[in-house]
Structure 1
Amino acid sequence: MVAQAGTTPLTHENPADHRRTKGGTVLFGVMSALYDNARWQPLEDALRLARRGDGTGFFDLADAGSGRHDGTFPNAADASFVIGCNDGTAVLTDEQIMSTATRWSEDFPLFGGYQARGLFGCRFWDVPRHPLARPTAATASPVLVIGGLHDPATPYQGAVDLTAALGNGVLLTWEGEGHTAYLRSECVDEVVDRYLVDLAVPEPGRRCQA
């Protein structure tokens, strides 16, 4: 579909909306839909429309993902850029970025090259930074960490690593889809509510089925 849009750009069925896309909106629309399985049906519909050259569904998914409203956008992308650059110290050279982009394109053919463009952002962030310290849990109360096995935005391994880094963390694994787990699973909700109200943590290795 991305290749097809590259040859024949998709258009919007609304004659007042003159946007066209060669594939970037398709990729972003897919990414937006993967965040929530409630968007899977709209994604299927968008794919069907796009096969006929109508990009309306993908524009809608992309607009939902970016928060676009009447041609304006919230500052979420700006905030993400500033926070991401300010919290770390790593600065990649152009050569390192291009090498990474090549590797990602090979390892992750659909999204690798598309996502690699973001590596250039911090390359030009030349204000004083305030990198975060390694997280620890210097508390007698264990810290509850939740990781989703099929979260398309936050890899499960990150939750495993955070739990280990805290030193006093307990990992709850959710075997479901979508970004974040609370309010998506009665099992997760019960564990989280008990933790927030009573500081009760689950037994190590606890898993909630989808």
Structure 2
Amino acid sequence: MSARRRLAAVIAGVAGVALALSGCLYAQIPPMAPDGGRSLAPQTEGVDAALLPYYGQTLAWEACGSAGFDCTTVTAPRDYADPSAGDLQLAVIRHRATSGEPLGSLLTNPGGPGVSGVDTVRDSLSLVADETLTSAYDVIGFDPRGVGQSSPVTCYDAAGMDAYLYDIPPGARGSDERNAALEQRQVDFAQACESNSAGILPYVSTENAARDMDLLRGVLGDAKLNYLGFSYGSLLGTTYAGLFPERVGRMVLDGGIDPSLPASASGIAQAVGFENALRAFMADCVTKSDCPFTGSVDDAMADLSSLLERVDARPITAGDGRQLGADSLMTAIIAALYSDQNWSYLRAALSGAQNGDASVAFQLADFYNGRTDGGYTDNTMQALRAYNCVDYPAESEADSDALLAELEQKAPVVAPYWVGPDPCDAWTAPPTGTRAAITAPGSPPIVVLGTTGDPATPYAEAQSLADQLSQGVLVTYVGEGHLAYNKGDDCVNGAVDDYLVGGTVPAEGLRCG
């Protein structure tokens, strides 16, 4: 029997928003903070006795990066159900509140799963928090378990990642020869991850990462968790709220993800989201002089399908010898659709591909994959696989196949490049996650942001999440691109800042943009 086909899951993090991204002890902190208070001492109330040594650890902060930043490492149990199973390390960065009297810590997560929170806070703080938040809070970034500078998932070196992400398999798309090659590629990748990741793969899950956030809350001295999560970071925050509703402080989830959706349904929602974003791009593109397409949006989408088929049959050789096939071209398209600010790059990439030039398309694909001339900037693509394969339970082949017709009907341009052999069939760590609604009864209000034209975390999921949460409050941003906060909309930023700093809950049904 052939392996199940899995709908592609794409990374959805702050790092994809725009192409422009690329030993002092902490001073005395006043003990007052929103929703429960804060002290310098670790917070251990309600903590299981077996976990007290972790919650009671003393942090050694050291200056890192520019002024105002310091870093530390927190020790966490691999397995919260069995702390004797060994430890792992969590890398943490703090940007100290500029007001001098912080309300407490504001934990953040930029998305992924797999994006480095340490790098994002250090290199792109203004994307995570505006001046209102950086004045009021110590902004905390951390690399979740398996990610970046924390105990990492490690699979291949740079040459191996190049082959895994970019090599074109033999055979025609959908043929037995091609599928067999792709299946073997996933087996080899999974075995490399198992061999090189020091035994952590079974413990790299969103539930464990959420438990790590509670550990961070405790060792930072916060009685409640104040949190701002983006994209996958919204799922991480939702998971935390489901586990510890009584420990939630002020929580904002930007780009809400529905925790009840199985992998296949989530994959379809994303594919449709990117198809719709492509149509929005084409509506703008055909009005521009540098657009490679003409006519109506339908005409342009049909021409793009033809271009993808042509590149699939006759890949374009780039200056560095790599070949641009349809899969890498689709990766480039996806990368650019995270923000309408990137549409000029997408026009250039598609024009180049039309004329046999792969350079801009590879720039976009490399940006998405975290690839540079010297290798890879992070292990995002490796950690992404680890989280997804443990978080999502397996689905039957019949269940997945039943959704493919819907995918092809709703996303005809994207669909051919959105499915393939299930990479999680080969993963060595079994899935332990479940897909179910999370209500978090007893939590304070949790603010969910949804963007109507968001391709990566579709608006319908934000609506569903806000409805599921017993205290969910939806704020709608009417616009294109991924995520809503810090995109230049005063209405969105005001609602977030007023809640996180002043505790003012946004008005029910608030729409911005």
Range into which the TM-score falls when normalised by the shorter chain: 0.7 to 0.9
Deviations 1:102-129 (A, max 9, x none): 5423431122232222x71233345344
Q: Of 418, 425, 443, which residue of structure 2 is paired with 1:123?
A: 425
Go from structure 1 to structure 2 and tell me whether the alpha carbon gap of 1:50 and 1:129 turns closer, same or farther (over 3 Å shift): closer
C-alpha distance in 2 between matches for 1:4 and 1:42: 21
Shift of 1:198: 1.5
Shift of 1:201: 1.5
C-alpha distance in 1 between matches for 2:372 and 2:350: 23
Q: Does 1:175 align with 2:478?
A: yes
Q: Does 1:90 align with 2:90?
A: no
Letter of the 1:8 partner, please give it.
Answer: R
Contact 1:181/1:188 (8 A) holds in 2:
yes
Shift of 1:98: 4.7
SS at match of 2:476: strand
SS at match of 1:28: helix
Contact 1:29/1:59 (8 A) holds in 2:
yes
Q: Of 297, 300, 317, which residue of structure 2 is paired with 1:11?
A: 317
Q: Of 69, 72, 81, which residue of structure 1 is paired with 2:385?
A: 81
C-alpha distance in 2 between matches for 1:88 and 1:7: 33
- Equivalences for residues 8-47 of structure 1 within 5 A: 8-12=314-318, 14=319, 17-47=320-350
Shift of 1:77: 1.9
C-alpha distance in 2 between matches for 1:134 and 1:124: 28
* Alignment-derived partner of residue 64 in structure 1: 367
SS at match of 2:484: coil
Contact 1:91/1:123 (8 A) holds in 2:
no
Q: Does 1:161 align with 2:464?
A: yes
Contact 2:352/2:359 (8 A) holds in 1:
yes
SS at match of 1:131: coil
C-alpha distance in 2 between matches for 1:59 and 1:11: 11
Contact 1:104/1:113 (8 A) holds in 2:
no
Shift of 1:101: 3.8
* Alignment-derived partner of residue 496 in structure 2: 192
Letter of the 2:361 partner, please give it.
Answer: F
Relative contact order (alpha carbons < 8 A, sep ≥ 6): 1 or 2 greater?
2
Go from structure 1 to structure 2 and tell me whether the alpha carbon gap of 1:46 and 1:91 turns closer, same or farther (over 3 Å shift): same
Of the structure 1 ranges 47-56 and 130-139, higher mean CA displacement relative to structure 2 is found in: 130-139
SS at match of 2:372: coil
Letter of the 2:426 partner, please give it.
Answer: F
Q: CA RMSD in A?
A: 2.1
Contact 1:101/1:113 (8 A) holds in 2:
no
Go from structure 1 to structure 2 and tell me whether the alpha carbon gap of 1:127 and 1:46 turns closer, same or farther (over 3 Å shift): closer
Shift of 1:169: 0.6
Go from structure 1 to structure 2 and tell me whether the alpha carbon gap of 1:122 and 1:167 turns closer, same or farther (over 3 Å shift): same
Contact 2:394/2:431 (8 A) holds in 1:
no
C-alpha distance in 2 between matches for 1:10 and 1:24: 12
* Alignment-derived partner of residue 414 in structure 2: 111
* Alignment-derived partner of residue 150 in structure 1: 453
C-alpha distance in 1 between matches for 2:402 and 2:431: 25
* Alignment-derived partner of residue 135 in structure 1: 438
Shift of 1:32: 0.5
C-alpha distance in 2 between matches for 1:177 and 1:72: 32
C-alpha distance in 2 between matches for 1:96 and 1:165: 24
Answer 1 or 2: which has greater helix percent: 1
Deviations 1:5-53 (A, max 9, x none): 13432232x3xx0011221121111100000222110111112222211
C-alpha distance in 2 between matches for 1:48 and 1:128: 44
Percent of counterpart pairs with the same letter?
34
C-alpha distance in 2 between matches for 1:198 and 1:92: 48
C-alpha distance in 2 between matches for 1:71 and 1:25: 19
* Alignment-derived partner of residue 52 in structure 1: 355
Contact 2:345/2:360 (8 A) holds in 1:
yes
* Alignment-derived partner of residue 508 in structure 2: 204
C-alpha distance in 2 between matches for 1:160 and 1:87: 22
C-alpha distance in 1 between matches for 2:495 and 2:472: 14
Gaps of 5+ in 1: none
Contact 1:97/1:120 (8 A) holds in 2:
no
